[in-house]
Amino acid sequence: MFDNLSDKLDKAFHILKGHGKITEVNVAETLKEVRRALLDADVNFKIAKDFTTKVKEKAIGQDVLTTLQPGQLLVKLVKDELTELMGGDVAGINLSGTPSVILMSGLQGSGKTTFSGKLANYLKTKKNKKPLLVACDIYRPAAINQLHVVGDQIGVEVYSEPENKNPVEIAQNAIKHAKANGFNVVIVDTAGRLAVDQEMMDEIARVHKAIQPQETLFVVDAMTGQDAVNTAKAFNDILNFDGVILTKLDGDTRGGAAISIKSVVNKPIKFVGTGEKMDAIDVFYPIRMAERILGMGDVVSLVERAQEQFDEEEARKIQKKIAKNEFGFDDFLSQIQQVKKMGNMKDLVGMIPGASKAMKDVEIEDDAFKHIEAIIHSMTPLERSKPAVIDVKRKARIAKGSGTKIEQVNQLMKQFEQMSKMMKMMQGPGGKNLMKMMGG
């Protein structure tokens, strides 16, 4: 995420490291590079200029030059300013209505339908809500089908009236349906166009006026940079929306939209989309994003994800197996599944402080466990539960079956052995505290 920007900012701060003494001149030079980095990331010119002016004023105010570690202080000032620019505090969504009505707006292709599904899934699984999805696109039958597919995937009901050509009526009927059937959140997905046009704006304005949503969210593709900001402005002028959803942050986005949008429309980014799957949704925390941009990682999010996936019962089962020396490849596989649920590897690595920089030239496969899984799948049940039986002949067969090399099988066997040993050690005397520390 935002690799290029992170890289350039890092280089800007290097100017200070290269000098024995820090002077007003090289602080100015550093900030000039910071500004250039922001412009390259497609941040609006005025915003980038204001940004460096503010940081400079603060730096002078705090007398950066006389502090012990001026470079670090400057990085901190940039981080604080970035956080402020992206909205400061985290913004929640208003779920106060009965039902709470959420209206989704945005251009076609921005990721509106996908996000409607993600939000419904999030509210259902994390907030214990009973959401109803509503298909209000009267122009593209495919859009209605798409929402039904999404709804089936996450087990959320979808309300649609394929014959009705009046989106206001559909939305109103959906809310009636929700009230009568105990749904407490209604998420209305609307029609989008490829570009802003009057007809679309009039239509969504009518729906907005008729259903008076608690939340109107504007969905925008982060990859579109400055265009994202302009579209946001056009929609905000009509809808005065409550928050922004930035999608496709997993792609090769430069970051300009994330950084500029708040100060242009003065509305917070509430969520981000980080993939096509239904669980690729994150609450937007300005400070965590600023830290990631500056290569400081995002340990808090990483730990949160680990905690979310942590299954206590499963952990206890595994602990028992280790104690009885019964930990096998099937258990190893189920551990891998748990890690995979945390997100894709590239994304996870980006959350480790310093790691995204250190590993920027390392090709990380989206599915880093593919080979390991293939190898384990090629093992017989006996081999999985009693790895000791795997001899050279069996290894050759497993390699062939999984399309891997025998060295890869060997490597996995070795890793597995080391892991089993370590786990046994943690079970022994003195190991209890270690397990506790790791959440076991």
Binding site for ligand GDP (CB under 6 A): 106, 108-114, 192, 247-248, 250-251, 273-276, 280
d(CA 7, CA 3): 6
> Is 209 within any annotated ligand binding site?
no
d(CA 242, CA 220): 14
Q: For residue 140, what is the enclosing H or E element?
A: none
Looking at beta carbons only, is 22 or 150 nearer to ligand GDP? Answer: 150
Q: How many CA atoms lie within 13 A of 361 on its CB side?
A: 0
Helix ranges, 215-344 (H)? 226-239, 256-265, 286-293, 299-309, 312-323, 329-341
> Is 106 within any annotated ligand binding site?
yes
Q: For residue 218, what is the enclosing H or E element?
A: strand 215-221
Looking at beta carbons only, is 49 or 193 nearer to ligand GDP? Answer: 193
> Is 386 within any annotated ligand binding site?
no
Q: How far is the CB of 276 from ligand GDP (least distance, A)?
A: 4
Q: What is the 3-state secondary structure (H, E, C) of 193-215?
A: CCCCCHHHHHHHHHHHHHHCCCE
Looking at beta carbons only, is 59 or 280 nearer to ligand GDP? Answer: 280
- For the stretch 196-212, what's the b/e string if a residue is b when 16 or more beta carbons lie within 10 angstroms of its beta carbon? eeeebbebbeebbeebe
Q: How far is the CB of 251 from ligand GDP (least distance, A)?
A: 5
Q: How far is the CB of 249 from ligand GDP (least distance, A)?
A: 7
Minimal CB distance residue for ligand GDP: 273
Q: How far is the CB of 222 from ligand GDP (least distance, A)?
A: 8
> Is 71 within any annotated ligand binding site?
no
Looking at beta carbons only, is 192 or 268 nearer to ligand GDP? Answer: 192
Q: How far is the CB of 106 from ligand GDP (least distance, A)?
A: 6
> Is 250 within any annotated ligand binding site?
yes
Looking at beta carbons only, is 189 or 242 nearer to ligand GDP? Answer: 189
Q: Give the pair of three-digit tokens for residue 71.
A: 């470079």
> Is 249 within any annotated ligand binding site?
yes
> Is 189 within any annotated ligand binding site?
yes
Contact 253, 1 (CB under 8 A): yes
Residues composing the chain: 440
Enumerate the known binding-site residues. Answer: 106-113, 189-193, 247-250
Enumerate the known binding-site residues for GTP. Answer: 106-113, 189-193, 247-250
